[in-house]
Amino acid sequence: MNLEEAKKRVEELRKEIEEHNYKYYVLDNPVISDAEYDNLMRELEKLEKKFPELQSPTSPTQRVGGEPLPYFTTVEHPVPLLSLSNVYNEKEIRDFHRRVTAIVEPVQYVVEPKIDGLSVALTYVDGNFEIGATRGNGQVGEDITVNLKTVRTVPLKLRKQVRRLVVRGEAYMPKEDFLRLNKKREEEGLPPFANPRNAAAGSLRQLDPKIAAERSIQVIVYDVLAVEGENIVTHYEALEFLKEAGFKVDNNAKLCETIDEVIEYCEKWHERRHDLPYEIDGLVIKVNDVNVYEDLGTTAKAPRWATAYKFPAEQAVTTVKDIIVRVGRTGVLTPTAILEPVSLAGTTVSKATLHNQDIIDEKDIRIGDRVVVQKAGDIIPEVVEVKKEERTGTEKKYTIPSKCPECGSEVIRPEGEVAVRCTGDLVCPARLREGLIHFVARGAMDIEGLGPSMVDALIKNGLVEDIADIYYIKKEDLLKLERVAEKSANNLLQAIEESKRRPLSRLIFALGIRHVGSRAADILAQNFHSIDALMNATTEELVAIPEIGPKMAESIVKFFEQESNLKVIEKLQQAGVNMEEEPPREQGPKPLDGLKFVITGTLENYSRNEAKEAIENLGGKVTSSVSKSTDYVVVGENPGSKADKAREMGIEILNEEQFEEMLKIK
């Protein structure tokens, strides 16, 4: 096949594949089998590979997801993406109607499902998909084009000739795919998503488009934000136009002539809401005539020509069989009620979150109680109230345990907080993933090539059980992982090796001690110069440092009190991770580089500060207490116990004369 013939065939294939996509995803009416579809795709892929000059960003082969981005850029929306006011009952729907008819009369409405997803704006230029963005703050969103390109219901090319078109829609994950994804995540030891909305947002806000490509995300479009060369006068027509242009629209949109019809349609959806393959949390009521939008205007955030009717929360009564605690990725212990399974909001519910001890006490929830549960929007329901009149006297009170059920570490309830936390920061399996991601991140140990998916692979394959294990990974282990070849394994090992030399401040930050951000880590490194010294610091010493508050001090002390955390630090040390302040970078090596001094007693020719300065000028460090890492102890008149300690520990002692010699010789 020559280039000319290939070009013709490629175009045919693209057209045919897009046509099948449209039939399958938009019209819900596939006309060929999956196998036939796959054959067409394969043929196209082959041709594009053989004739790279025929590749195109709008080819259906581009849906697999390209290279990861370093970060998302922002885009300004051509028209602000407004949000909606809410109404909750018939009376409020009628109030809305009254406000509308005060300005326009008569009025038709379109009522359509309110999909619980992520609002996106899609821009097309000359029929090609150019930009896909999140809503963001309504004015400016994030450019997630690479991820939206993987979504089959986002046409890469329009089926209509339009110079410029900007549409708005909802990206969502169908309920079935959501349940499947969560099941898989639980099997892999990953935290499940709370609801399909979070799952959709989590998938589209990933920098690696391969992740979005693997997840079943769809987009239903419901608004034309801007169009050139079309005269659309009603919302209903807009939906028709969008469908013809190739978008998936909600076929349940209904044109209503009266407000009674609107109310009836809203109520009808109370029972039907769970029949849809995607989660909806209400219906959107929109004035049909687009020309009156300007007359109706908008409030600060929401238009006056539309409103959202929100479904009431659904409730059921059941029994609390048990209360267990789950440890979240930040170490918070969340009590969860195990319920007698009950049917609620279209699913069987067997768990409810109890949030924290205060809520349990306040609502007086006991094991064995009959309770009212409710689903507000999240998949995990909550207990609204206890049916105390149904108590038999056998119900048992509950208190959150004092040890973490995952790792056995002590739990604390920091002052002023309702949450109880596990203190096994570095060892708790429930926290390992987040801890590792933080440890290797850019502002921390900065290990290139160790992103979240690699972290997941390492945990899944049992290669790391704590953060220090990173430094013990062997090449043969890496090569066993999927998608890791010789070269990337070498690169990763080298990056890990290099990270051992990061400055102390980075290590302190990387440990993920609660409340210790990168600025605090810098201050701690400057004041303590080594992990050893920081480890021995008392709360009083810590709070004496400007910018270190009591909350942070308490958190640091607690962190280093945990035997398990200390073990991990020891493992890091043994692996050769730098645990001391880095030598100054500006100049070349200095004679006392890396040497640590302690001064005790009074020197004849030097004040304390002068001696300190002299040492530091030559690159040495002066610390206040004698430890294993001390190299020399300078002893003057009337020395304190530090001299004895140095002798005991076998650390070299210098009298003033020897000290002076050292300064000269060196």
List the interface residues with ligand IVH, window 273-292 (CB under 6 A).
284
Torsions phi, psi of 172, nearest 5? -150, 165
Query: From CA 307, how far away is CA 265, in angstroms rounded?
Result: 15
Q: Of 49, 114, 301, 403, which one is the catalytic site residue? A: 114
Q: What is the nearest approach in angstroms of ligand IVH to the Cβ of residue 252? A: 10
Pick the piece of the chain touching ligand IVH (CB under 6 A) from 79-87, 369-377, 397-405, 415-423.
79-87
Beta carbon nearer to ligand IVH, 3 or 376: 376
Beta carbon nearer to ligand IVH, 250 or 554: 250
Beta carbon nearer to ligand IVH, 77 or 114: 114
Q: Does 222 bind ligand IVH (CB under 6 A)?
A: yes
Beta carbon nearer to ligand IVH, 379 or 569: 379
Beta carbon nearer to ligand IVH, 296 or 444: 296
Q: What is the nearest approach in angstroms of ligand IVH to the Cβ of residue 584? A: 53
**Within its chain, how far is the Cα of 337 from the centroid?**
26
Query: From CA 392, how far away is CA 397, in angstroms rounded?
Result: 13
Q: What is the nearest approach in angstroms of ligand IVH to the Cβ of residue 115? A: 4
List the interface residues with ligand IVH, window 435-494 (CB under 6 A).
none
Query: From CA 155, how far away is CA 128, in angstroms rounded?
Result: 8
Q: What is the nearest approach in angstroms of ligand IVH to the Cβ of residue 75? A: 17
Pick the piece of the chain touching ligand IVH (CB under 6 A) from 15-23, 77-85, 369-377, 568-576.
77-85
Q: What is the nearest approach in angstroms of ligand IVH to the Cβ of residue 280? A: 8
Q: What is the nearest approach in angstroms of ligand IVH to the Cβ of residue 175? A: 15
**Within its chain, how far is the Cα of 473 from the centroid?**
26
Q: Point out which residues pair with 289 in neighbouring strands.
A: 234
Q: Which of 68, 80, 202, 303 binds ligand IVH (CB under 6 A)?
A: 303
Beta carbon nearer to ligand IVH, 220 or 651: 220
Q: Does 122 bind ligand IVH (CB under 6 A)?
A: no
Query: From CA 459, how far away is CA 386, in angstroms rounded?
Result: 41
Query: From CA 468, how far away is CA 125, in angstroms rounded?
Result: 51
Q: What is the nearest approach in angstroms of ligand IVH to the Cβ of residue 313? A: 16
Beta carbon nearer to ligand IVH, 114 or 642: 114
Residue pair 147/212 in contact by the 8 Å Cβ criterion: yes
Q: Does 595 bind ligand IVH (CB under 6 A)?
A: no
> Which conformational region is residue 64 in: left (phi greater than 0), alpha (psi within -120 to 50 degrees), or beta?
alpha
Q: Which of 426, 428, 422 minimizes the C-alpha distance to 512? A: 426
Query: From CA 237, how far away is CA 255, in angstroms rounded?
Result: 11
Beta carbon nearer to ligand IVH, 220 or 521: 220
Pick the piece of the chain touching ligand IVH (CB under 6 A) from 62-70, 82-90, 360-368, 530-538.
82-90
Whether 114 sits among the annotated catalytic residues: the reply is: yes
Pick the piece of the chain touching ligand IVH (CB under 6 A) from 301-309, 396-404, 532-540, 635-643.
301-309
Q: Does 618 bind ligand IVH (CB under 6 A)?
A: no
Residue 338: in which H helix or E strand, if any? strand 332-344
Q: Which of 26, 60, 65, 112 binds ligand IVH (CB under 6 A)?
A: 112
Q: Does 223 bind ligand IVH (CB under 6 A)?
A: yes
- The structure tokens listed for 379 are 């998949």
- Strand ranges in 263-313 using DSSP code E only, listed in sequence order: 280-287, 306-310
Beta carbon nearer to ligand IVH, 248 or 502: 248
The gap between the terminal CA atoms of the chain, to the nearest Å, is 77
Residue pair 440/450 in contact by the 8 Å Cβ criterion: yes
Q: Collapsing DSSP states into helix, strand and coil, what is residue 503?
A: coil
Longest CA–CA span in the chain (Å) reads 102
Total of residues contacting ligand IVH (CB under 6 A): 14
Q: What is the nearest approach in angstroms of ligand IVH to the Cβ of residue 97? A: 17
Q: Collapsing DSSP states into helix, strand and coil, what is residue 60?
A: helix
Q: Which of 6, 104, 162, 308 binds ligand IVH (CB under 6 A)?
A: 308
Q: What is the nearest approach in angstroms of ligand IVH to the Cβ of residue 248? A: 12
Q: Collapsing DSSP states into helix, strand and coil, what is residue 632?
A: strand
List the interface residues with ligand IVH, window 499-558 (CB under 6 A).
none
- The structure tokens listed for 636 are 């003057």
Which positions ≥6 away from 140 have C-beta within 8 Å?
A: 74, 75, 76, 77
Q: Does 114 bind ligand IVH (CB under 6 A)?
A: yes
Pick the piece of the chain touching ligand IVH (CB under 6 A) from 66-74, 111-119, 387-395, 622-630.
111-119
Q: What is the nearest approach in angstroms of ligand IVH to the Cβ of residue 268? A: 17
Q: Does 569 bind ligand IVH (CB under 6 A)?
A: no
Beta carbon nearer to ligand IVH, 252 or 453: 252
Q: Does 82 bind ligand IVH (CB under 6 A)?
A: yes
List the interface residues with ligand IVH, window 330-369 (CB under 6 A).
none
Q: Which residue is nearest to ligand IVH (CB)?
A: 119
Q: Which of 21, 59, 119, 150 binds ligand IVH (CB under 6 A)?
A: 119
Beta carbon nearer to ligand IVH, 199 or 412: 199
Q: Which of 238, 322, 361, 295 minimizes the C-alpha distance to 104? A: 295
Q: What is the nearest approach in angstroms of ligand IVH to the Cβ of residue 235? A: 10
Residue pair 339/321 in contact by the 8 Å Cβ criterion: yes
- Strand ranges in 265-331 using DSSP code E only, listed in sequence order: 280-287, 306-310, 314-327
Q: What is the nearest approach in angstroms of ligand IVH to the Cβ of residue 258? A: 21
Q: Does 166 bind ligand IVH (CB under 6 A)?
A: no
Query: From CA 359, how far away is CA 353, in angstroms rounded?
Result: 10
Q: Does 306 bind ligand IVH (CB under 6 A)?
A: yes
Residue whose entry in the numeric block shows the structure tokens 């600025």: 519
- Measured at the CA of 214, the angle between CA 213 and CA 215, to 5 degrees, comes to 95
Write 314-317 long-range contacts (CB < 8 A, 24+).
314/344, 314/345, 314/374, 314/375, 315/344, 315/372, 315/373, 315/374, 315/384, 316/342, 316/343, 316/344, 316/349, 316/372, 316/373, 317/342, 317/370, 317/371, 317/372, 317/373, 317/387
Beta carbon nearer to ligand IVH, 280 or 444: 280
Q: Does 142 bind ligand IVH (CB under 6 A)?
A: no
Catalytic residues, by residue number, are: 114
Residues that bind ligand IVH (CB under 6 A): 82-84, 112, 114-115, 119, 170, 222-223, 284, 303, 306, 308
